[in-house]
């Protein structure tokens, strides 16, 4: 069954509702929901934790508990003031528990929840739910309102984005584990949650709760480096959406975890190769500047890791049923005939 109406309009409604729920959960749900199903991993005595940093430190967070102690496949943030719906993103979860050397039996239930959610919806979480992506969509809207065109990324630039994505992920997890070693233990607090220290969400989300984040900390050289990197990554985040559509989503290491389920999960992007005219509308409409759907000429399942499953390509494809989104094999959205739309000119994401 097709999704009725405009896919983009529905995505905006879902995106806005998800943002309100994930960011302002504490105003909607007065107390944490205790399910008893997920064990809460605690920082060992003397180990760093976001609850132990004072207001002057980069990793200071309002000490309000989340409503559900879980880590979904989206950039939900520990630094949401008043406590968000979920505790944090999966990268935060892995980083702190690697540093704490948490027993696998405590981590496994949380990882299983993440895997189930990622299997069911893959990067629909990125394209429809992620609150940081919602902020990015607002920046894209400002670009379009100002009449600015987006930057078109070359193949080399796309490969560079992919390499940067894996580099960020590797450094974040590797450093989180390495700081337990004696040579680095002296600066464990300063190197704790390395990606969180530079993530744009740490600086953006507190503002939505009327709280100023800790913009700077030059008390040590390490904190100074992370402070400057945080500013740089915030600037890259803004520039990525203002100039290059949703390109940040291709750099985001949180989306990398979910991308493993873009192939083989419950959601699939399906292309009728025999009826595709290679008009290029899907490539030009793609918010993450991917050309994979256009260029794949052999497989019917054209799902790929960079895709955030916003279904913009399905909406803009001008031929009936050439592109479809399926959930467990059932069609949930399909392209339809659009007279006069057969070339990428004029398509605006």
Q: Which of the listed residues 203, 237, 257 is the one where a domain comes to its end?
A: 257
Residue 273 lies in a domain: yes
Tokens in use for 76?
């939900």
DSSP for 295-345, please give it: H--S-SB---TT-----HHHHH--STTSEEEEETTEEEEE----TT--SST
- 162 shares a domain with 46: yes
Residue 77 lies in a domain: yes
Residue 52 lies in a domain: yes
Tell me which residue of 261, 197, 258 sits closest to 232, measured CA to CA: 197
- 289 shares a domain with 157: no
- 244 shares a domain with 325: no
Tokens in use for 43?
């920082």
H or E segment and range at residue 330 = strand 330-334
Tell me which residue of 296, 308, 233, 234 sits closest to 270, measured CA to CA: 296
Provide the percentage of residues in the chain whose pLDDT is more than 70: 94
State the DSSP code for 153.
P
Greatest Cα pair distance, the chain, in angstroms, is 67
Residue 1 lies in a domain: no
User: Crossing angle for the helix pair 221-244 and 131-145, nearest 10 degrees?
Assistant: 50
Asked whether residue 291 carries a pLDDT value surpassing 80, the answer given is yes
pLDDT digits (tens, 9 = 90+) for 66-91: 888 889 999 999 998 887 899 899 99
Average pLDDT over residues 199-208: 94
Q: Which of the listed residues 212, 237, 257 is the one where a domain comes to its end?
A: 257
- 280 shares a domain with 131: no
Residue 277 domain boundaries: 265-334
- 302 shares a domain with 208: no
- 269 shares a domain with 181: no
Residue 346 lies in a domain: no
343 versus 150: which is more confidently predicted?
150
pLDDT digits (tens, 9 = 90+) for 206-216: 999 888 899 99
pLDDT digits (tens, 9 = 90+) for 219-247: 999 999 999 999 999 999 998 888 877 88
- 250 shares a domain with 308: no
| Global model pTM greater than 0.85 | yes
Average pLDDT over residues 170-183: 93
Query: What pLDDT, on the 0 to 100 scale, is given for residue 231?
Result: 97
- 239 shares a domain with 129: yes
- 309 shares a domain with 173: no
Residue 173 lies in a domain: yes
- 238 shares a domain with 288: no
Query: What pLDDT, on the 0 to 100 scale, is given for residue 63?
Result: 65
pLDDT digits (tens, 9 = 90+) for 97-148: 999 999 998 899 999 999 999 999 999 999 999 999 999 999 988 988 888 8
Asked whether residue 264 carries a pLDDT value surpassing 70, the answer given is yes
- 275 shares a domain with 167: no
Average pLDDT over residues 256-270: 93
Residue 347 lies in a domain: no
Tokens in use for 280?
């290029």
Question: How many domains does the chain fold into?
Answer: 2
- 77 shares a domain with 203: yes
CATH number, domain of 277, equals 3.30.70.20
Asked whether residue 176 carries a pLDDT value surpassing 90, the answer given is yes
CA of residue 103 relative to chain centroid, distance? 27
């Amino acid at each position: 069954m097709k999704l009725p109406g405009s896919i983009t309009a529905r995505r905006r409604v879902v995106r806005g509702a998800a943002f309100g729920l994930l960011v302002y959960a504490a105003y909607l749900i007065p107390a944490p929901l205790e399910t008893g199903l997920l064990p809460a991993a605690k920082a060992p005595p003397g180990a760093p934790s976001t609850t132990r940093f004072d207001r002057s430190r980069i990793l200071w967070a309002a000490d309000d508990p989340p409503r559900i102690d879980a880590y979904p496949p989206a950039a939900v943030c520990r630094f949401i003031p008043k406590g968000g719906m979920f505790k944090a993103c999966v990268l935060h979860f892995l980083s702190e528990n690697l540093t704490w050397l948490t027993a696998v039996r405590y981590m496994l239930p949380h990882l299983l929840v993440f895997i189930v959610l990622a299997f069911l919806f893959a990067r629909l979480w990125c394209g429809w739910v992620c609150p940081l992506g919602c902020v990015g969509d607002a920046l894209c809207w400002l670009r379009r309102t100002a009449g600015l065109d987006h930057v078109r990324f070359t193949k080399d630039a796309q490969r560079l984005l992919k390499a940067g994505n894996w580099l960020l992920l590797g450094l974040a997890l590797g450093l989180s584990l390495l700081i337990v070693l004696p040579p680095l233990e002296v600066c464990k607090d300063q190197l704790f949650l390395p990606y969180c220290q530079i993530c744009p969400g740490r600086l953006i989300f507190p503002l939505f709760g009327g709280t100023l984040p800790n913009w700077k900390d030059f008390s040590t050289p390490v904190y100074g480096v992370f402070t400057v990197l945080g500013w740089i990554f915030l600037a890259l985040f803004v520039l990525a959406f203002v100039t290059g559509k949703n390109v940040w989503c291709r750099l985001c290491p949180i989306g990398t975890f979910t991308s493993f389920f873009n192939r083989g999960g419950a959601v699939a992007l399906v292309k009728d190769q025999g009826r595709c005219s290679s008009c290029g509308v899907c490539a030009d409409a793609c918010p993450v500047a991917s050309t994979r759907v256009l260029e794949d000429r052999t497989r019917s399942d054209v799902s790929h890791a960079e895709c955030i499953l916003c279904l913009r390509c399905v909406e803009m494809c001008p031929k009936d049923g050439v592109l479809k989104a399926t959930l467990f094999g059932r069609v949930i959205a399909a392209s339809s005939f659009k007279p006069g739309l057969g070339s990428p000119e004029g398509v605006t994401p």
